[in-house]
Structure formats: C-alpha cells, structure tokens
Chain A
Amino acid sequence: MEQRLANAWRMTVNEKKFIESALVSGLRVDGRNLYDYRKLSINFGKEDGSAEVHLGQTRVMGIATSQLVQPYRDRPNEGTLSIFTEFSPMADPSFEPGRPGEFAVELGRVIDRGLRESRAVDTESLCVLAGKLVWAIRIDLHILDNGGNLVDAANVAALAALSTFRRPECSLGGENGQEVIVHPPEAREPLPLIIHHLPIAVTFAFFSNESTLVVDPTHQEEAVMAGRMTATLNTNGDICAIQKAGGEGVPQSVIMHCLRIAATKAADITVKIRDTVEAYNTERALRKIKRHSAPVALDVSGTVPNVRKNQVKSEDQREVSGSVGTQVEKLKPMNERKNSDQSKDIEGKVVTKSLEQGGTNSKDGNPRSFIGGPSSWDPYSRGVDWDFLKLSLASRETSKFSKKQKESQSKKSTQQASPKGSAEEMKAISPATESAKIASQTHGEKTLKDAVKPKHKRKKKAPSAVDGS
C-alpha cells in the first residue's frame, strides 16, 4: 500500500506556486490564453465507428459496437445506448487496473447524461421488433494518455465514433414476420445512426485566487486547481448537462460567464467534428466504389455464367468511374481490342468470353508481386510471368514488362518464395487463362503504366515495408 503511494506522482510546491502566480497575470504554462482550447484532431480507424481524438497531449479512443438485445420493459420501443469508460493504466501511472475509481465513474456519468438523456441519438429508430428485439449501442472509451481534460476529449471521441458508426441492416421475415434477418455488410450497406444534435462538453477549472478560471486545463493545472465545472451544450443553445461536483464555491456571475464562453467553444468544436466526419464519409464512399470494381478485376477466367454478371458489373463500373478516373480508359481499350483478338485466338469461344470479363488478371496469376495491402485492386500490378512473355506475340512488350516485373520483385518483403514454384504453377493453369493473360497484357500496355505508377508512388509513402526500401 505504501509502495503504491510512493509511486504516485505529486506536484512539487515550486510548480504549484509557479502555475498559480502565472495565472494571476493571465499566463498559462503552455502559452495559451485563458479561454483557448488546445489543438483538437480526430482520426478514424479502419472500421466504422472507431475514432481517436488528440486534444493536445490527451489521447482518447472511442469505439462503437452494436448488438441485438431485449429492450427494457418500460421502454419496449426504444433501443439502448451505453457508455463504458476504461481508464487504461497506460494513460497515467496512478490509474489502477480493475475496478474504475471515482473519477472514472464520474466521467462516464457526465458523458452518459450529455448523450443519452439529452436524446442526441434517436433510440426509436433502433427498434427492430417492439418488445422483443432492439439494437443496443455500446460505446467503449479508452483513455490512452492523460494530458488533462479527459471529459471533453472523451466526449468528442464518443460523438465521433457514433457519427461514423454503421449498424447492420435487418429485415423482418419468416412465417409470421417475427423472424429477424440481419444482413451482413457485404450483402447490404449498413446504416448510420440518426443523431439529432451534438452535445459538446466544455470544462472549466477554478483556482483559489478569486476569479481565475481557465478552459481546457492540462493535467498540471488540474493538479493545482481548486474546483472544476463541466458544461455540456449544443449549438441549438440547449444546455444538456452541467456538472460541478464540490470544489471551491464560485459566484453566480462567473457561472453565467462560463456558460457564455462554453456556447462559443461548443460551436467551434461542433464545426470541427462535422467537417472531419464528412471528410471520412466521402472517403468511405470512394472506397466503396473502388471495392465494387475489385471483384471484377480479380475474377478467374472463363465460365459462362460469370460473364453476364461481370458484364453488368463492368457497366456499373463505367457509370461510376467518373469519379474513379482511370478505370474507364482501361475498360475501353480492352473491349475494343477484344474484337480484333478473336481472330488471333486459337481457343475460340471460351477465351473471348473470358476477355469480356474486363478484369483479365486471374486470381491464380502471379502471387509473387505484392504491392500494397488488401485495398490493392489494381489488376495490372501483379506483374507478368517470364514464360508467357516468351509466348507473347508482341516482342516489344517484353522489355517493358520485364522492367515492371523487376520493380514488383523489389517490393517483395521476404526472401525467395521460389520463382520456380510460381512458374510451375503457371504451367498448370488452363490454356484459357494463359492466352487470356497474354492477350490482356498485350492490350493493357497503354494503360498499365498509368495504373502502376501512381500505385508505386503511394507505396513508397506508406510506412516502411519490410523489404528494406
């Protein structure tokens, strides 16, 4: 017990006096003005509904998940929203693992009141089967770094996570319409939550010297402060919650002054959250469009039933690709050349149909060149196998392809993987794919470089791959 106390961080008397006397003259230790917020930045994770907020040195991660549960008896038509706060020991040496301390509980309650009791999230739309099944949204807030003012940062993290969260779409089916079918995200696009307003928490710290108050205290200021107040309000002018739990007594005029300051701060933060969420949504929409093209590109060659589906997909691609760019150019030369190639092809119908599919690089094609992560949909970045180059009719292409192959080989992250192995596998592939590939590669010459170059540039900017680049 004493050893734990020995490990606790205590502020020295010198530091305390310095901070207090600086505040008397209106100076803060990090150079801010009394009513200034630190730099707020919101980053989103790979999944929908995960956000990480940096408020100066404070770092909080918020994750939203959903589950189907039975509703509460007194509210059979509404979904539920619950907030779990994790004061991770990594944030502060004084945070202990296990049961949350009183500050953790208080933080959870303040955010809960601001979000849930102010009805920021529409819970009635979360109802699936009245009285039986509703969606329960769970928000986990992980405090990663305690640089002061955890309430505000955690609140923004919760809002950001909720704004970008998507719940699976479900429909009623079965015999008497009582069965609930939950559609996976691949089948049907998941739905966002309906959020009426964004309640923003603004924290003030009061000091023992009369009317000194600061907004967004750092953890050193928090160690010195005599009292704290958090006001949660939204841009509509509603006060969602006020929390002043003990601490030094403060005159009413000061409280009103604080609320006015909080209103302006809340407006700024709301604008910031809305902008970043919109940017994320547009980026997500673009990613969705690219993902639709990927199945076309990766499809293995030549079975008849696939053709119709893929032709439809390539149609979609062409419509959508206005925003995506190079795809249109790629598809056109492919389809144009297809006609001329029919005469050359020895294999006949099967091959031409496989050409029609648009994405001619087969999945069991070269596994050697790995460029980029799972998001790499580019069919041409896979490189070319030597044996087929020899078979190809156009000899001038070979030199260009060998260059590309060398590039792609240099991107390999671990040793060998035996080029011999893949060459053998190449020979084992059906002749249909072979000629399809040759044909496509001879066609693709124009567009290959356009496709490959930007991809490589992006790869170089990405954090270090293992291959020692």
Chain B
Amino acid sequence: MEIDRADGRNPNQLRPLSCSRGVLNRAHGSASWAQGSTQVLAAVYGPKAGTKKNENPEKASVEVIWKPKTGQIGKQEKEYEMVLKRTLQSICILTIHPNTTTSVIVQVVHDDGALLPCAINASCAALVDAGIPLKHLAVAICCCLADSGLVMLDPTKLEEEKMKAFVYLVLPNSILSVLPEESSSVKGEQMEQGLITSVTHGVMSVDDYLHCLERGRAATSKMSDFLRRNLQPQLSSDSSKAG
C-alpha cells in the first residue's frame, strides 16, 4: 500500500540536494546546504585558543551556536545544539589541537522538514571547508514512519507533522577504498555498520526502528557519493584563481 506524498516523490526518494562551500568571507569555513526547501547556513571558526571551564583541556572542544530563523532561543534550539555538538565531537579528531575551541554556527534560512539532518550535513561540509581534521564525514537523514508502517525518507514539514513518528539518523559516510577488497573488508564492515547519532520523536516499535535504520543506511550511500563529489572539485577552481 503506497502512500502519496504531496510533492510526488516515492517513499525512498530524497529531495534535491545542493551544497555550496566557501559562501562567507570572514568565517574560516562555511557551507550552505539545501534539501528541497529546507536550507541551512553553517560557519566554522577554526581552532581558537582556550576551552570553556567545564570542558576537558586535554582535548579540542567543539562549540555549537544554533540561530533560529526568528524568535528567541528556546529549549528546542538548545537541544539541537547539544545533539550537533555531540555528533561533531565524534567525527573530529580531538587530540590534534588540545586546549582549543572550534566554533560552529548554524543559521536556519528556511525550515521545511528534516532540519536537524540538514544542519548536520551543512556543519560537516563547513568543517571540511575550514580544514578541521576529521576522522570521517557524517551523513544525516530523516526517516519517518506512517501509521501504516510505511517508512518514508526526507519528509517535508507537513509530512513530519502528520506522521506517527520520525527519526533523525547520522551515519558515517561510505568508504571509498583504494586498497584491494579483502584487506579492508573487516574494518570496512564495522565502519559501515556504525551509527553515530539517532534522535527519535514519537512512538515506534523496535522492528520499525530497525527498518528505518536499514532504509536510512541505503540512502546514505547515495548521499555520501553526492557529498564526496561535491567536496572535491573546489580545489581545482581555487588553484585557477591563484593562477
């Protein structure tokens, strides 16, 4: 039983993605990520000296500031900041620059569903643009669960509100290996099975959750291809500017 989505997508289809890096001049790294109508702008200021009082000075720390489109900063924004911070802390290599703070500032330009995944993707691209050392990239996606048990990817705001439950998943990006298959298979399998972050809203059964996880994993391989392609060519255009 298929459910019609308002914009004509099928349940496994994502909205068109677009990512542009280096959009701001003052920030050390910046990226703008759009999924359909949802658009988020992220900026990164590279390692600054000193950490906050309650942070461990033996490691680098990540500070996240979430700016909503309009209104005061409330609990929802604080929650997003916390999730984003923990996610980014797990992908950055924190031991390289101890006792420093990297600030990530996220500005919501338009919210049409799947806002937190969009922000995570934008922050990841901005970190790459700033040259912060990362273990691997993170790819985030939103899966929602309809009453019938159907799992749909990348809902719009209206769909999110109607659904029984939805979950934001952040997975590591897929590995592109130059080594022969056998040697990377063991490690590769562990990596690909990993789940960095998962935030659920609403009630879902364990089976439904695992189903969402599978679908999300399948979709992120496409997204990580997109991300990889997008992050590469910028270098050649920069060198042409210098020349």
Q: Could you say which of A65, A142, A373 contacts B107, with CB atoms under 8 Å apart?
A: A142
Cα separation A138 to B70 with both chains bound (whole Å): 9
Determine if A370 and B8 form an interchain contact, defined as CB atoms under 8 angstroms apart.
Answer: yes
What is the distance, in angstroms, from B228's C-beta to the closest C-beta of chain A? 11
Q: Does A90 contact B (CB under 8 A)?
A: yes
A-B contact count (CB 8 A): 145
Chain B binder among A119-127, A249-257, A459-467: A459-467
Question: Which residues of B sit under 8 angstroms from A421, Cβ to Cβ?
Answer: 2
Q: Which residue of B lies closest to A63 (CB)?
A: B70
Q: A140-B70, A466-B223 are in contact. Are A373 and B16 (CB under 8 A)?
A: yes
Determine if A145 and B16 form an interchain contact, defined as CB atoms under 8 angstroms apart.
Answer: no
Question: Which residues of A sit under 8 angstroms from B5, Cβ to Cβ?
Answer: 367
Q: Does B176 contact A (CB under 8 A)?
A: no
Cα separation A20 to B9 with both chains bound (whole Å): 59
Determine if B218 and A414 form an interchain contact, defined as CB atoms under 8 angstroms apart.
Answer: yes
Question: Which residues of A sit under 8 angstroms from B7, Cβ to Cβ?
Answer: 370, 373-374, 376
Cα separation A462 to B37 with both chains bound (whole Å): 13
Q: A97-B65, A144-B107, A373-B7 are in contact. Are A415 and B12 (CB under 8 A)?
A: yes
Determine if A90 and B105 form an interchain contact, defined as CB atoms under 8 angstroms apart.
Answer: yes
Determine if B70 and A414 form an interchain contact, defined as CB atoms under 8 angstroms apart.
Answer: no
Q: Does B50 contact A (CB under 8 A)?
A: yes
Cα separation A370 to B5 with both chains bound (whole Å): 11
Which B11-45 residues have C-beta < 8 A from chain A?
Answer: 11-18, 20, 24-27, 30, 34, 36-37, 41, 43, 45
Give the bracket for the number of chain B residues in contact with chain A: 35 or more
Q: A90-B30, A413-B222 are in contact. Are A382 and B8 (CB under 8 A)?
A: yes
Determine if B4 and A93 form an interchain contact, defined as CB atoms under 8 angstroms apart.
Answer: no
Determine if A364 and B2 form an interchain contact, defined as CB atoms under 8 angstroms apart.
Answer: yes
What is the distance, in angstroms, from B60's C-beta to the closest C-beta of chain A? 14
Q: Which residue of A lies closest to B220 (CB)?
A: A414
Determine if A93 and B26 form an interchain contact, defined as CB atoms under 8 angstroms apart.
Answer: yes
Q: Which residue of B lies closest to A467 (CB)?
A: B222
Question: Which residues of B sit under 8 angstroms from A367, Cβ to Cβ?
Answer: 2, 4-5, 8-10
Question: Which residues of A sit under 8 angstroms from B219, Cβ to Cβ?
Answer: 414
Residue-wise, chain A 208-234 has the 8 Å CB interface mask toward B (1 for contact) of: 000000000001000000000000000
Determine if B110 and A47 form an interchain contact, defined as CB atoms under 8 angstroms apart.
Answer: yes
Q: Could you say which of B25, B67, B223 contacts A142, with CB atoms under 8 Å apart?
A: B67
B positions within 8 Å CB-CB of A:
1-2, 4-18, 20, 24-27, 30, 34, 36-37, 41, 43, 45, 48-50, 65, 67, 69-71, 103, 105, 107, 109-110, 153, 156, 218-219, 222-223, 225-226, 229-230
Which A117-156 residues have C-beta < 8 A from chain B?
Answer: 138, 140, 142, 144-147
Determine if B26 and A63 form an interchain contact, defined as CB atoms under 8 angstroms apart.
Answer: no
Q: Does A6 contact B (CB under 8 A)?
A: yes
Cα separation A431 to B51 with both chains bound (whole Å): 68
What is the distance, in angstroms, from A52's C-beta to the closest C-beta of chain B? 8
Determine if A466 and B12 form an interchain contact, defined as CB atoms under 8 angstroms apart.
Answer: no
Cα separation A415 to B1 with both chains bound (whole Å): 19
Q: A3-B49, A89-B103, A465-B16 are in contact. Are A370 and B9 (CB under 8 A)?
A: yes
Q: A61-B109, A363-B4, A373-B7 are in contact. Are A144 and B13 (CB under 8 A)?
A: no
Question: Which residues of A sit under 8 angstroms from B11, Cβ to Cβ?
Answer: 417
